[in-house]
Chains A and B, each alone.
Chain A
């Protein structure tokens, strides 16, 4: 059975079509990278997958269930979504309460050992009694990630997790994604970070102007980078520090 299946998906915001006929079938528990230029509809597609937005045409199936037919709560039990800006979700006094909020809401818990292990990996085991409002950007991002991982969803969408992150946070996020990959979770990563894609992705889903090019292997992706970003790919690769053309 497909984990995520998109059938001729169309989504319009006001008068503009943002998603234009996307077909996608994700079957394996692997790391998929959703890449494309700004404003091509990556975040919208992610929100459609977790049921926060409903498509005007076409269907989204998450583990065989149509997102139009069930509540968002039923979908997010399977799909965890980590927002680009974690600032907008904190409202409780303690980091611990923030992390447990989704667990209690969805009545779904990660086993205690893994929970503690993930806390340590993300380096927030010492922050549990602090206020989430006084944390740094990187710490907030890690708390937001933990608050989703705490209820153990099978599919996890990371929306630009490394945006504005320092080296330490970057390493921790990379580590946690690797751990999730080992534990057979399906990860959808929205990122512009070539280094991150290279070190972690199994497949790449290139997107442009509301359309998806299909699921391709990581190595093939670097060949079509020009077409997606309309840039000289060697510039991007050179900045990543790994390849020099």
Chain B
């Protein structure tokens, strides 16, 4: 586990205000859907790499996004071959119409990049933003304290369950279970001895957590305060303008194209 884990580093990106990071994340994701252009996707990809470099997490980031390449390749093939929903054009007289497929390559490339970006941007966001920062920013955006807290709790649970999965897997491997062996059906079957204790453990963890939170007065309806205070500096403002700029251009282009 630890794939989307927060990587603690002292960098200008890590030190950005969490609200700015959140806005940037939302506007980048939105712009992927708003701006439909290969050139933009390439620029965005370069931008993502620059951010990763500035956050001093370039190497672990690149190592992790390599795993998304197969997904991108699959979407490239699917879009190139099946785009247009016109099977008669793909198979003319039982022979594959190469010309038609080749004409779809630009769309295939675009979709592959889009899928790649849709995976890598959230990964980058989670690698540079700690779960508590996400909760703070949601509260500052006006979300009720409890709702924001549950959102953060759900993110935290991913790490906890990941660790728990590893522990249970080791316990079953010590009893002779071979999890990563055999065909797909066998592998799914092999995971049953892990999934059952994991589910039970998950329920008991949530139960324990609820009791612990109740003990600390979480359900009281008084106003909650935050220990950390966040201040906007010049760099925060720059990134905020950048995010809003990207979003505005995206919306503008979308309206123009429609």
Interfacial residues, chain A to chain B (CB-CB below 8 A) = 14, 47, 50, 52, 71-73, 76-77, 80-81, 83, 85, 87-91, 101-102, 105-106, 133, 147-148, 151
Q: Is the CB of B192 within 8 A of A87?
A: no
Q: Is the CB of A90 within 8 A of B170?
A: no
| Given A88-B164, A88-B167, A91-B196, also A105-B201 (CB < 8 A) | no
In chain B, positions 155-174 with a C-beta closer than 8 Å to chain A are 164, 167-168, 170-174
Shortest Cβ gap from B151 to chain A (Å): 26
Chain B binding site: helix, strand, loop or mixed by DSSP? helix
B200 at the binding interface (Cβ < 8 Å): yes
| Given A88-B168, A88-B197, A91-B197, also A83-B192 (CB < 8 A) | no
Q: Look across to chain B and name the residue whose beta carbon is closest to the beta carbon of A91.
A: B196
A-B residue pairs, 10 tightest by C-beta: A105-B176, A91-B196, A102-B175, A106-B176, A89-B171, A81-B174, A88-B168, A52-B170, A91-B193, A72-B173
Q: Is the CB of B174 within 8 A of A83?
A: yes
Question: What 1/0 flags go to B167-198 for Cβ under 8 Å of A?
Answer: 11011111111100000000000001110110
CA distance A87 to B178 in the complex (A): 20
CA distance A50 to B178 in the complex (A): 14
Q: Look across to chain A and name the residue whose beta carbon is closest to the beta carbon of B174.
A: A81
**CB neighbours of B197 from chain A (8 A):** 87-91
Interfacial residues, chain B to chain A (CB-CB below 8 A) = 2, 164, 167-168, 170-178, 192-194, 196-197, 200-201
CA distance A213 to B196 in the complex (A): 41
Q: Look across to chain A and name the residue whose beta carbon is closest to the beta carbon of B195.
A: A91
Q: List 13 A-B contacts (CB under 8 A).
A: A47-B170, A50-B174, A71-B178, A72-B174, A76-B175, A81-B174, A83-B174, A87-B201, A89-B197, A91-B192, A101-B193, A102-B175, A105-B176
Q: Is the CB of B167 within 8 A of A76?
A: no
How many residue pairs link A and B with beta carbons under 8 A? The number is 57
CA distance A25 to B201 in the complex (A): 38
Q: Is the CB of A76 within 8 A of B176?
A: yes
Shortest Cβ gap from B85 to chain A (Å): 45
| Given A71-B178, A73-B178, A133-B200, also A89-B172 (CB < 8 A) | yes
Residue among A83, A90, A91, A147 with most chain B CB within 10 A: A91
Q: Look across to chain A and name the residue whose beta carbon is closest to the beta carbon of B171.
A: A89
Residue among B167, B170, B174, B201 with most chain A CB within 10 A: B174
| Given A88-B201, A91-B196, also A73-B176 (CB < 8 A) | yes
**CB neighbours of A50 from chain B (8 A):** 174
CA distance A191 to B174 in the complex (A): 20
CA distance A93 to B2 in the complex (A): 32
**CB neighbours of A148 from chain B (8 A):** 175
**CB neighbours of A147 from chain B (8 A):** 175
Q: Is the CB of A89 within 8 A of B196?
A: no
CA distance A148 to B171 in the complex (A): 11
CA distance A45 to B89 in the complex (A): 62
Give the residue of B174, B196, B200 whose beta carbon is less than 8 angstroms from that of A52: B174
Q: Is the CB of B171 within 8 A of A83?
A: yes
Shortest Cβ gap from A70 to chain B (Å): 12
CA distance A89 to B177 in the complex (A): 11
Q: Look across to chain A and name the residue whose beta carbon is closest to the beta carbon of B201.
A: A88
